[in-house]
Amino acid sequence: MTIYINDKPCEAQVGDLLLNTAKNNKAHIGYICGGNAICQSCFVYVLEGADCLSQPGEDEKAFISDKLFAEGGRLACRTTIIKEGTVRVLTRAEKFRRTVLGLNVPGFITYAQTIGYNVTTMLPSGVSSIVSRVQSGRLNPVDSLGKIAAGLGPASLLAMNNFVETFPFMQMPLDLAGNAAKGALNAASGVLCTVSGGRFHLPGSTCPSHGPQETIERVPIKSK
């Protein structure tokens, strides 16, 4: 079947999570927490086809207010396609982008008020849900941290792409800032190498004195 995420057609099957459908089709749904339902980065508005999706569970209810549920709000990491039909969803980031591009001031004010209300109202229940799941063993903190780390890269790239698409005139300043940051890291690594007399390189940098870092050979050590 085909569902639409931000008007982009995406191939999906019954039983798929909305978040996984987005990832498989390179559609724009964030997932900073890695799909653990401990944030709202994968929040979407269901514009059509709510009956084709699973009912909200307790994990979602802990983070989404009744007001946002009434507007079709769901967490993509907890929403499963249960039957075929026409499904259209809009991500929070895309709704914000369209509001800004359309110079919709009243819409922006309403959007900000709704999100602010949801954050302040649902924060206690959200925290309580996380603690409860950890205590019951349904949420593994170590596993969650790993998923968060894995999701930060794609989430950052998504945010940057959306920002550049919304404000294309910022592409050159961003490129210049990135090059300046890289140069600063390289210079700092060179200083540290000189002071330490070794090869102390900062993450993401290439020391101009030594060139690319050498590959470290890993040798397994077994204990008897």
User: What domains can be seen in the chain, in order of their start residue?
Assistant: 2-166 (3.10.20.30)
Judged on CB neighbours under 10 Å (0-12, 13-18, 19+), 175 is exposed
Asked if residue 75 lies in contact with residue 63, where contact means CB atoms within 8 angstroms, the answer is yes
pTM beyond cutoff 0.85: no
Q: How confident is the model at residue 171 (pLDDT cuts 50, 70, 90)?
A: low
Question: For residue 135, what are the contacts with CB-CB under 8 A and spacing of at least 6?
Answer: none
Strand residues in the chain grouped as ranges (E): 2-5, 8-11, 43-48, 73-75, 88-91
> Which residues neighbour 46 within 8 Å (Cβ) at sequence distance 6 or greater?
53, 72, 73, 74, 87, 88, 89
Contact present, 49 and 11 (Cβ < 8 Å): no
Integer Cα distance of 224 and 211 in angstroms: 40
Q: How confident is the model at residue 216 (pLDDT cuts 50, 70, 90)?
A: very low
Helices 105-136 and 92-101 sit at what angle, rounded to 10 degrees?
170
Give dist(CA 199, CA 205) in Å, integer: 12
Segment 28-86, tens digit of pLDDT = 888 777 778 888 889 999 999 999 999 999 889 888 888 889 989 999 999 999 999 99
What is the pLDDT at residue 95? 84
State yes or no: pLDDT of 168 exceeds 70.
no
Mean local confidence (pLDDT), 124-147: 72
